[in-house]
Structure 1
Amino acid sequence: MKHFPSNIAFKYPWRKYQQRVLEELSDHLSDKHLHVIAPPGSGKTVLGLEVMLRLNEPVLILAPTIAIRNQWIQRFCELFLQSDDTPNWISRDIRNPAFMTVSTYQGLHAACSHRGIEIVNDDEKEETQSKNQKSASKNLNAITKGLLEKGVKTIVLDEAHHLKNEWWATLTAIKEKLDPVIVGLTATPPYDVTGAEWQRYTELNGPVDTEITVPELIIEGDLCPHQDYIYFTLPTDDEKKGIDTIKYRMEKLFEEVKNDLTLIEAIKKHPAWLSPKDHLDWIYSNVECYSAMLIFLNTNNIEIPRKHIEIVTDKNDEIPTLDYGWMETLLDFYLYREKEHFTIYDEHRLKCLNKLKSYGAMERRKVTFSNNSKVDTKLILSISKLNAIESITNFEHKQLGNNLRMVILTDYIRKEFYVNDTDNNGALNKIGVLPIFEKLRRKNINNKKIGVLSGSFVIIPKSALPQLEQRANEYNITINSTLVPFDDKYVLVNQTEQIKHYIVQIVTDIFEAGEIEVLIGTKSLLGEGWDAPAINSLILASFVGSFVLSNQMRGRAIRTQQGNENKTGNIWHLVCIDPESIDGGRDLQLMKRRFKGFVGVSYKEENGIENGLERLQIPDTLYSQHTLNFKNDETFKIAAARDDLKTKWDKALTNGVNLVEEIKIPFHEAIEKTSYQETKRFHYNKTITHFTSGVVSGILAYSEGVLNLFGRSIRNIRSLEQVTFMLSIVGVGGIFFFGSKVYKSLRLYIGYKEISKDIEQISNALLHTLHDEGHIQTHFSDLNIVTNVDNDGTIHCYLEGGSTYEKSIFMNSLAELIGPIDNPRYVIIRTSRLLFIKQKDYHSVPEILSKTKKPAQNFELYWRKYVGHCHLVFTRNQEGRELLVKSRTKALISQLDDEIEQVSKWR
């Protein structure tokens, strides 16, 4: 059997968004990859099955769990074959493949690793990297041979984010041997991983080709109007004391290491310091370490010769101040990266390492002064969030009353908080299912019906027991329950072998019927795959898992409910602020990263839909309890207006037709500071201020001096020649006094002027080149670059027209072009001049145009045409590498690398 039977077809009409993906299929598959992002409820499984049919070759489908594996086969038989019977050409056994083989990632890895039977486990465990990860195994060749003999040419990866763990190595090896078409389907790409992990993810799945978006699903009636809200807290007094102690110790350690005479001596004896010109190759490959050396020595009042500074930047640039970031780089270099030149200091290195460990500044062979995991843990797992959960629950119940269907998802059960005693008044000092239950039970002021559903604990209100028993009878199951010893209003359902396969469904049924109004459970049991359309409020009290799982959990609350056309969903996130951190602390930063994957209506822009945290209008400073209380109260007022939420979605949806990926350059208020970031961030709103105030203050200051001079000298002037001579002195003095201030401010002003004015011209040069080189094939007259600046001064740029794949190519290339310079093959040096000021900017030529010289040269020609004078430099020779180092330091865009981002907006 080489092809599917010809009579197989999907039994229903395609939804509009599914049809769109299928119409663009040939474009997407040009690189032998189809990577689709589609939220829960979008029908991505049937979409994957249709793509499989159109490719019409033997296929391997991989799913994250056995339940989802079986679901693929079930859906194929029901919706395509329209039969209850599974044909013999479908196999579940990776060791005995058939024309269509459906397995799990665990099953494939176990077979290739010769580890025996696949473990049946539908709960997603915390994904961790195996310490004994191997890219090949004894049985890999046998599995590959079996797939090759069946002619497998397509691999479908369902929820491919699960490849963050050791399975990726096995699958990568399989991919290399089979050279198949890869179809990657996921609801939640792993946006919150490191750059290396994201690169690995996209190398396997290919770049994202298309996304079925939340607004499309709401238009089609598959998702309900919903909104994400954040409830903010501050650490408890005890937690604050602990955080302050840790930070004090870090600062004390920093000062001790900064003044370590042996470390200073070791750095001064490194060959790159002694003779930099003889070690340029090493410097070009280790520019961060080299810069950290210079910064460290400069901080210790050791003069840095110009020959060092000129290697990495212009001679007039100032050396940054040593901060935690640079110190981390230096110590990582001293302790680990430098294998040769510090061996005579091994005893001191060991002593230094032990000191760092004793202070808690070492985590997994990484020096951490600034992002200390102990501080992060205190914020992320702060007990203050229990109070937040209580406040949100009381608020939602006040709004919805008996119609509330709230789910609270968390990480752990915390069995120790269930006591076999008539009193349960112990301190609640951890977050988990039972502590949350206790927090709500003890002060249940409005008699909410609270329940618990987890793998080992099921607690329901006593009033719900008859309904539970009735539903259990339908499954021929007898319920065995006991009163909760410390509260006779609740019963504990005893788990038995008979009930364990049905208890989740039975409790879900009585929850949807209103016998339970607030259901507390674990993410592993309810976070993924569980369905309860009645949910109208969700609190995510899960802090251990990844973004991937948080978005899966979020999907529980946003599905439509049959018979309830007016359903809306509120999703609550909890964040504990570090009041002494300039960025709000790790908990807030993690939430910002997660919100990149959450699309919703904006409260920043009227009738707008976009992703990211900014749409909630979070204040820049959240440092006091008063500020937090004000923001939380404001959030409650917005969340109470559920009818307004539906109206807001309806209005916003009419303002666009699709979700557009665009480049966004925010216009932030500058915060004067000396830190690691000062060499990378360019607060361009200050440039105009500096220019204007520099001119005004210069004129005022100079005029004052001139008037004083004339006042003192007027009585001594005897002739017209003396007046002329005096005015000449004033003019020359003015040039020296005033010119330097204008020069500095004007240089900054020009830098901002270039980036804001020229985005459109740069984008046009890029678009023409991509079109010429065949990467974008839509007729040029149907394409349009759109750039605008909003009221906040934020620059937006996106492509109108073209396929989703072409837009993806354009946006990824533009992000490379105006983003931070890493290690491109070619660099464009742009030069411009205004009056006497020469400006030089550096840009990476996108990788897609850098594989050979010809497209890079073509890009240079279009740059000259649309942007202006430039110079193309190849960076893989000595001269190019030297320029690459300087461009990393000097590029205007490198100073913006923390600000530029790709965002999604409904347009």
Structure 2
Amino acid sequence: MQEISEILQFKYTWRNYQQKFLDGFQEHIKDEHLHVIAPPGSGKTILGLEILKRIGKPTLVLSPTLTIRNQWRSRLLEFFTIDGDFNAYSLDIKSPDHITFSTYQSLFSLSRSFGDNAKQQLLAFIKLHKIETLVLDEAHHLKNEWWHCLYHLKEIEGLTVVALTATPPYDSTATEINRYFSLCGPIDDEIAVPDLIKNGDLCPHQDFVYFSKPEEAQIKYIVNYREQILKFTNALIANTALQESLITLNFYIAPEESLEYIYQNPTFFSSIIIYLNSCGYAVNEENLKLLGFSNSDVTFPSFNYEWAEILLQHLLIAQREEFVAFEQVLMPIEKELKRIGVLEHKRVNFVGDEVLYRNLSNSPSKLESIFQIVKHTDEHLGEDARTVILTDFIRKEFLNFKGSETSVLNKLGVLPIFKYILAKQVGKTSLGVLTGSLVILHKTALNKLKKLLTIENLTNAPVDGSEGYVLISVPDVLKNKIAEAVTQLFTEGVIKTLVGTKAFLGEGWDAPCINTLVLASYVGSFVSSNQMRGRAIRVDANNPDKTGSIWHLACLDPTAINGGKDMEKLQQRFDAFTGVSLKDEVYISNGIDRLVLPLDWSESSELARINKNMLLLSQQKSVFKNRWNEAIEEGNVLVRELKIPYGQEQPYAKTKKMHALNAGKYVMLEVILGVSAFVPEFLIKNMGAVLNKGIVQVLYLFIAALFLGFGPKTFKALKLYFLFGNQYKKTKKIGEALLGYLLDSKVLSFESVNATIHSEQNIKGSFSIYLKDASQHDSNLFISLLEEVIAPIDNPKYLLVNGNWIKRKMGIRNYYVVPKDCGKNKTEALLFQKYWNKEVDGSKILFTRTLKGRKELLKARFSHLKYQFEEVSKKAITWK
């Protein structure tokens, strides 16, 4: 029988970036895992088919929906067969063939049908049909109960898992992210958006943000919420009953006898000490000595919201049973937390994620933002405007809203957006609504719609308060057809602004003519945000010069310097995709930094200026097209890098001369110059003493004057050098040590023998480090391990400890982590230490699972308290 790999042949020519990926395919598949990020427009399904063809074993392809499942089949027959002549496939998971296309839901249903012994019978079923390759399409869609089936399948020896996705779920919880990567494996390769734009498969595009302030009632709510929390924390600091209870705890009085408990609950232990320190209690010096400190060695952080959350989460929830004796003290605290809305669903949360975030992200102030974007787009693009607004809810209660009093429209949703735009633009006829259950068009579009549907009668009714607009009743049999017809009206320009739900239009719906997309969605993760962006950045065969504008909305919290939770969520969303910088330096990277936004949002008067500037920049289509072209020419690959922020209080420009001397040397230079000026002045003033008292006494006098005058400055210079000036060099040395280990070790399958360390420092003082001439897999591995080394210490198996007395007295970090994958056993840990000592310093290696090791680990964690809630480093993706 002819082999499947011979029967199925791709009929066309691979694009450059596709061929580049396929060239490295065999290398990636060695570990029986292949995890690929492929953005919309990159031909992900076709690449998946080529992969399973090359593997050549019976394959089960799982998709999130029937529509996508059917796309796999149609792509197979259209691109890999002659006249669709191939039948060794199945759409029924219960009757598999050489290639079986199915859905996650179907696999779950099959598993459930086996009853009590589901796991064993499912594995037996897969083995019976000799399925040896599993393709996971868009695995971020998986619902919780669906994971178990897939984990069961992974137990099959020799099973190859291929995971294809447009966006990994980076903004999910840590548990969900770990689950995703344990199933799909580490990312092996990524098809880059710049390559797609260069090849003409995606259009040049730019992201913009339109900012708004909450309405007065919302501001009052937020301010009141913050005031109540402040009042509560002040009361907590003054709560002598709680303090007197905590100082009686065994692990506080005699920590040496409670090391096991402290080891298991180090952050709780830290929160108690920090709380008591803030209440004015002198921390027991014997306790600190046990951890290797004196009082002068430890700088206690302030008792902030994060520490309060840890303290109260343990006392009130996690370990409530342990503190039964404190019940009379804890009950009033619990009651007050519930009253102000901080304790919900067994979680203490001072930030107010759900309460405040939903309040801001659903703010009606965003309706005005949307209107301004639509108005500006219509004015600028005229007949060529094709705007899509995606949101989460329909809000049918606003269907009969009448008049111009828009303050009644107090929620974000399809109908409030539709009604708000019409109230502001009376007489507008080019607006449309398209959801799974609601279609609204202007009556002037009805005849064209009937022609497209090839029907004479279409039931419709006038929409109250929306003159000229009609609500169309959609029979179930026409649902798909009417969506296609409305899309056609949008393509032709009968509709220029289309409002719809993310669920209906966000994924799978295709209208290449879109040139402006407004993301008015807040429920969805940034996975769905990226899927929605994919609608606007596709090329349009009818408009070869198309550019796409993607608008994001943010309602700023006026009580938060960083803009609040809505802004924080937006920053997470931007981490999911790469784009070209908006202004100034031209580069391609992920993250919101490329928009050059203010760091401090307390000056809300800036909003009007920023919004006006965003609207002006969105007009300059040729500019961001040129910026893409210029940036693409400056690189050829997306690089994973680690960014380390500049962490000093003084502005970087004051402590650094770019491209010359590091911060510490610069200050040292100041000291040297000062001494140079001091010496002649000293000799002139003390000439008499030189002549009368002798050289030895004058030398003593000189040293004393020098120490008093320049000792503090010299100490500061040295500390600054070690803390920051040396950090840039040290991080690079750590990178060299890690690279040396990876090239020598046989455990982690690091294949990039020509890889070299590169580091760059920007004008703001932060620096980045990355590998050059390395595969995507190896770059990802290197960056993940490096991040683990320099991150705040949690619970590593091995620590690197440097006992340098000078550094310890200056508060310099002496502890670093041996990454988990480099410290699986002592042999590997010692190999890592070998390269560390060669490149970095003479640190000792410490096994933390002994009594001595646990003590040292506690000390290390205590040393890192100041880093606990800080962003010490951040992964980034940059085109280089």
Aligned to 1:888: 861
Question: How many Å separate the matches in 2 of 1:588 and 1:878?
Answer: 45
Aligned to 1:69: 69
Aligned to 1:99: 98
| 1:626-654 deviation line (CA, Å, top 9, x unaligned) | 20111111111211101111111111111
Question: How many Å separate the matches in 2 of 1:631 and 1:492?
Answer: 38
- Alignment partner of 1:342 is 2:323: yes
Question: How many Å separate the matches in 1 of 2:865 and 2:255?
Answer: 26
Aligned to 2:763: 791
Aligned to 1:204: 183
Question: What is the DSSP-based 3-state SS (H/G/I as helix, E as strand, rest coil) of the residue aligned with 1:660?
Answer: strand
Residue 278 of structure 1 and its aligned partner are, at CA, apart by 0.8
Q: Which of 379, 391, 398 is matched with 2:360 structurally?
A: 379
Question: What is the one-letter code of the residue matched to 2:362?
Answer: L
Question: How many Å separate the matches in 1 of 2:464 and 2:317?
Answer: 57
Q: Residues 897, 176 of structure 1: CA spacing in aligned structure 2 closer, same or farther, 3 A cutoff?
A: farther
Question: What is the one-letter code of the residue matched to 2:731?
Answer: I
Residue 790 of structure 1 and its aligned partner are, at CA, apart by 2.1
- Alignment partner of 1:449 is 2:430: yes
Residue 242 of structure 1 and its aligned partner are, at CA, apart by 0.8
**8 A contact 2:41–2:538 mirrored in 1:** yes
Question: How many Å separate the matches in 2 of 1:633 and 1:779?
Answer: 48
Question: How many Å separate the matches in 2 of 1:903 and 1:250?
Answer: 35
Q: Which of 847, 851, 876 is matched with 1:874 structurally?
A: 847
Question: What is the DSSP-based 3-state SS (H/G/I as helix, E as strand, rest coil) of the residue aligned with 1:573?
Answer: strand
Farther-moved stretch of structure 1 (488-497 vs 741-750): 741-750
Residue 21 of structure 1 and its aligned partner are, at CA, apart by 2.0
Question: What is the one-letter code of the residue matched to 2:127?
Answer: L
Pairwise mapping of residues 771-790 of structure 1 onto structure 2 (< 5 A)?
771-774=743-746, 775=748, 778=751, 780=753, 782-790=754-762
Farther-moved stretch of structure 1 (851-860 vs 54-63): 851-860
Farther-moved stretch of structure 1 (479-488 vs 529-538): 479-488
Task: State the number of aligned residues.
Answer: 866
Question: What is the one-letter code of the residue matched to 2:304?
Answer: D
Farther-moved stretch of structure 1 (31-40 vs 729-738): 729-738
Question: What is the DSSP-based 3-state SS (H/G/I as helix, E as strand, rest coil) of the residue aligned with 1:166?
Answer: helix
Q: Which of 510, 514, 518 is matched with 2:489 structurally?
A: 510
Question: How many Å separate the matches in 2 of 1:835 and 1:799?
Answer: 29
- Alignment partner of 1:38 is 2:38: yes
- Alignment partner of 1:299 is 2:298: no
Pairwise mapping of residues 214-293 of structure 1 onto structure 2 (< 5 A)?
214-293=193-272
Question: How many Å separate the matches in 1 of 2:222 and 2:312?
Answer: 23
Aligned to 1:123: none
Pairwise mapping of residues 115-514 of structure 1 onto structure 2 (< 5 A)?
139-163=118-142, 165-177=144-156, 180-312=159-291, 314-315=293-294, 316-338=297-319, 341-419=322-400, 427-444=408-425, 447=428, 449-473=430-454, 476=455, 478-514=457-493
Q: Which of 650, 673, 677 is matched with 2:629 structurally?
A: 650
| Unaligned segments of structure 2, at least 5 residues | none
Q: Residues 346, 763 of structure 1: CA spacing in aligned structure 2 closer, same or farther, 3 A cutoff?
A: same
Question: How many Å separate the matches in 1 of 2:290 and 2:359?
Answer: 43
Question: How many Å separate the matches in 2 of 1:764 and 1:385?
Answer: 49
Question: What is the DSSP-based 3-state SS (H/G/I as helix, E as strand, rest coil) of the residue aligned with 1:502?
Answer: helix
| 1:794-849 deviation line (CA, Å, top 9, x unaligned) | 21211111322222222222222233333222222346688997755322222332
Farther-moved stretch of structure 1 (276-285 vs 751-760): 751-760
Question: How many Å separate the matches in 1 of 2:760 and 2:277?
Answer: 43
Question: What is the one-letter code of the residue matched to 1:36?
Answer: V
Residue 698 of structure 1 and its aligned partner are, at CA, apart by 15
**8 A contact 1:596–1:611 mirrored in 2:** yes
Residue 499 of structure 1 and its aligned partner are, at CA, apart by 2.1
Residue 887 of structure 1 and its aligned partner are, at CA, apart by 2.4
Question: What is the one-letter code of the residue matched to 1:460?
Answer: L
Question: What is the one-letter code of the residue matched to 2:257?
Answer: D
Residue 786 of structure 1 and its aligned partner are, at CA, apart by 1.3
Residue 579 of structure 1 and its aligned partner are, at CA, apart by 2.1
Q: Which of 541, 550, 554 is matched with 2:529 structurally?
A: 550
Q: Residues 663, 779 of structure 1: CA spacing in aligned structure 2 closer, same or farther, 3 A cutoff?
A: closer
Question: What is the one-letter code of the residue matched to 2:873?
Answer: I
- Alignment partner of 1:56 is 2:77: no
Farther-moved stretch of structure 1 (487-496 vs 312-321): 312-321
Aligned to 1:900: 873
Farther-moved stretch of structure 1 (174-183 vs 488-497): 174-183
Q: Residues 604, 848 of structure 1: CA spacing in aligned structure 2 closer, same or farther, 3 A cutoff?
A: farther
Question: What is the DSSP-based 3-state SS (H/G/I as helix, E as strand, rest coil) of the residue aligned with 2:109?
Answer: helix
Question: How many Å separate the matches in 2 of 1:810 and 1:866?
Answer: 16
The alignment yields a C-alpha RMSD, in angstroms, of 3.5
Question: How many Å separate the matches in 2 of 1:335 and 1:779?
Answer: 51
Question: What is the one-letter code of the residue matched to 1:364?
Answer: H
Question: What is the DSSP-based 3-state SS (H/G/I as helix, E as strand, rest coil) of the residue aligned with 2:142?
Answer: helix
Farther-moved stretch of structure 1 (893-902 vs 145-154): 893-902
Farther-moved stretch of structure 1 (895-904 vs 628-637): 895-904
Aligned to 1:17: 17
Residue 426 of structure 1 and its aligned partner are, at CA, apart by 7.0
Residue 103 of structure 1 and its aligned partner are, at CA, apart by 2.1
Question: How many Å separate the matches in 1 of 2:687 and 2:734?
Answer: 57
Question: What is the one-letter code of the residue matched to 1:585?
Answer: G
Greater helix fraction, Structure 1 or Structure 2: 2
Aligned to 1:844: 817
Question: How many Å separate the matches in 2 of 1:582 and 1:851?
Answer: 42
Question: How many Å separate the matches in 1 of 2:181 and 2:656?
Answer: 35
Question: What is the one-letter code of the residue matched to 2:563?
Answer: G
Q: Structure 1 length normalisation: TM-score? A: 0.88
Question: What is the DSSP-based 3-state SS (H/G/I as helix, E as strand, rest coil) of the residue aligned with 2:34?
Answer: strand
**8 A contact 2:668–2:718 mirrored in 1:** no
Question: What is the DSSP-based 3-state SS (H/G/I as helix, E as strand, rest coil) of the residue aligned with 1:301?
Answer: coil
**8 A contact 1:433–1:521 mirrored in 2:** yes
Question: How many Å separate the matches in 1 of 2:560 and 2:533?
Answer: 28
Q: Which of 817, 838, 841 is matched with 2:789 structurally?
A: 817
**8 A contact 1:223–1:559 mirrored in 2:** yes
| 1:201-256 deviation line (CA, Å, top 9, x unaligned) | 11110011111111111111110000000111111111101111111111122222
**8 A contact 1:694–1:745 mirrored in 2:** no
Pairwise mapping of residues 506-585 of structure 1 onto structure 2 (< 5 A)?
506-585=485-564
Question: What is the DSSP-based 3-state SS (H/G/I as helix, E as strand, rest coil) of the residue aligned with 2:624?
Answer: helix
| 1:256-290 deviation line (CA, Å, top 9, x unaligned) | 23333332233222211121011112212211000
**8 A contact 1:313–1:890 mirrored in 2:** no
| 1:107-160 deviation line (CA, Å, top 9, x unaligned) | 222332349xxxxxxxxxxxxxxxxxxxx9653333332112112221111101
Residue 13 of structure 1 and its aligned partner are, at CA, apart by 1.8
Question: What is the DSSP-based 3-state SS (H/G/I as helix, E as strand, rest coil) of the residue aligned with 1:562?
Answer: coil
Question: How many Å separate the matches in 2 of 1:175 and 1:399?
Answer: 54
Question: How many Å separate the matches in 1 of 2:11 and 2:282?
Answer: 77
Question: How many Å separate the matches in 2 of 1:85 and 1:766?
Answer: 52
Q: Which of 546, 554, 572 is matched with 1:593 structurally?
A: 572
| Unaligned segments of structure 1, at least 5 residues | 116-135, 673-682
Residue 425 of structure 1 and its aligned partner are, at CA, apart by 6.5
Question: What is the one-letter code of the residue matched to 1:821?
Answer: I
Farther-moved stretch of structure 1 (835-844 vs 245-254): 835-844
Question: How many Å separate the matches in 1 of 2:781 and 2:673?
Answer: 48
| 1:620-678 deviation line (CA, Å, top 9, x unaligned) | 12223420111111111211101111111111111111111111123366389xxxxxx
Question: How many Å separate the matches in 2 of 1:714 and 1:787?
Answer: 52
Question: What is the one-letter code of the residue matched to 2:258?
Answer: H
Question: What is the DSSP-based 3-state SS (H/G/I as helix, E as strand, rest coil) of the residue aligned with 2:480?
Answer: coil
- Alignment partner of 1:621 is 2:600: yes
Aligned to 2:838: 865
Question: What is the one-letter code of the residue matched to 2:252?
Answer: W
Q: Residues 607, 658 of structure 1: CA spacing in aligned structure 2 closer, same or farther, 3 A cutoff?
A: same
Q: Which of 783, 799, 807 is matched with 1:827 structurally?
A: 799
